[in-house]
A and B are shown apart, each in its own frame.
Chain A
Amino acid sequence: MKRIVFLLLILSLSISLSLYDILQEVLEKDGKISLQGTEVSIFYDESGIPKISITRVIYGGNYKLRKEYLAPPFLLGKVIIDDGIKKIEYLPNLGRLSISSTGFINNSLEIKKRIELIKKNYKIINIGSETIADRKAIVILLVSKYTNLPTLKLWIDVETYFVLRKDKYNSEGRLISRSFFSEIKYKKEYYYPDDLFKPDPLWKFKYIINEPVFKEIDIKNLKEISLELPFGYILEKIFLIPQREDIVFYYYRYTDGINTLSLFKSNIHIKEFRESKTIGGFRGVLEESPLWKSFMWQDNNWTYFLIGDIPYDKIELFLKKIFP
């Protein structure tokens, strides 16, 4: 009997290890596959009416991406392009262009770090296999080790390791979104012209949010903010966001491998007219959405703004752990 239990344990361990390997392969292949397809994203908010967006997606291989929104009307014309160095998002209805660093992880060391973090914070369960857009996919579920609730479900193409479908759950275990490819065609690398992955000269925008002007600060010198937060979040990067000479914005980005948690600190006094409440000795304003919770408070002439997918009953715990 003991031998059977031991064998089962070894078997389950080896299966779980192979699933992390699959996830690592997914991250390694991301951006290297050339394809085009139609992606449907469904957002399940609290209204009970699913919100659907449809995008035409082109992966050019060699870390190039173009995503065009076809629906809903308020996002029609939105384009995201990524050339492996920077990601540009154009929103015509807001007249805005955002430039940030590439969304691809094209660094093996960073992928390994990410996988280690996922291993630390999530269990991976093999759900089985399914067919998505005529492609055979393995289905895996990532479950938080802290809440024991599902976080992400991925349908991975068994041949290409491309994610064909993903279901995202919030920290309270509620399904909040589903994205899947209704059709997909793999192409040879360098099939698409480079112009597809460059900004269109006809784009009209009033203002630009530019991440490259953010100044990255060395984490080693950090003393006033915690490097680690509950639920396995670790501080990934710190940026100084230049606004004006007299205004300072710090951006602390934490990750647990899958989710991101952001803390902003500024010397500007942001007035808030909504009702404030006290959580764990911090008096501030709490705002909730299906995707995240945010809490803004003031302390010692600094304004802090914490945002992330934190369970409601754990906000106090996070707030208490921010300052070492």
Chain B
Amino acid sequence: MRCKDVKKLISLYIDGELSFEKRIKLERHINNCPFCRRELEDLKIIIKEIHNLPKIEPPINFIDNLWYRYQEERTVQRNYKRIFFILGLTFALIFIFLLSQKIWIQKSKSQELQTFYEIHSKWKKSFIFEEPFVDFVLYQNK
């Protein structure tokens, strides 16, 4: 058993909840390792001190208050969740609306510009000076 394993199991050892096999292994390690032994002793002191603390009786309505606070916390949390949900939904709807507007404007814009390009490039006088390859620029990627 290594030191880090002992640290994990030391609380269970004090509470007497370790299996026989693990307890033997842990004790062997503690006997040989001054650091872990020191930690075990410190922990035993702390526990002993905790046990020596005077007992305090809770107020009569302690459970009621606790339950009330708990409910209050839950309500606040629920409200926050609801607010975040509504805000998120609103932002999502606004985003979708703006995106669709932008797409629509871009589409209508490109139609106007496309018309300008076509009028410029195709409505010329004289076939001799006409540019038949204009279609490659205007339509190839449509």
Binding site for B on A (CB under 8 A): 26-27, 30-31, 39, 41-43, 45, 51, 53, 55, 65, 74-75, 78, 82, 89, 91, 93-94, 98, 100-101, 103-105, 110, 114, 152, 154, 163, 166, 168, 176-177, 179, 209, 211, 241, 251, 258-260, 262, 264, 268, 270-273, 289-292, 294, 296, 305, 307-308
Contacts and interface: CB of A to CB of B under 8 A. Distances in A.
A30 B122 CA distance: 18
A94 B138 CA distance: 11
Contact of B128 (A65, A163, A176): A163
A184 to B, nearest CB: 15
Contact of B136 (A26, A45, A114, A271): A45
B112 A98 contact: no
A41 B137 contact: no
A270 B112 contact: yes
Interface of A is mostly: strand
B137 A166 contact: no
Interface of B: 102, 105-106, 109, 112-113, 115-137, 139-140, 142
B135 A75 contact: yes
B113 A65 contact: no
B133 A65 contact: no
Contacts, number: 107
30 contacts: A41-B132, A43-B136, A51-B133, A51-B136, A51-B140, A53-B132, A89-B122, A91-B139, A93-B139, A94-B142, A98-B118, A100-B122, A103-B127, A104-B126, A114-B126, A154-B128, A179-B133, A209-B115, A209-B119, A241-B119, A251-B119, A262-B120, A270-B113, A271-B105, A271-B109, A290-B137, A291-B131, A294-B113, A294-B116, A307-B117
Contacts of A100: 122-123
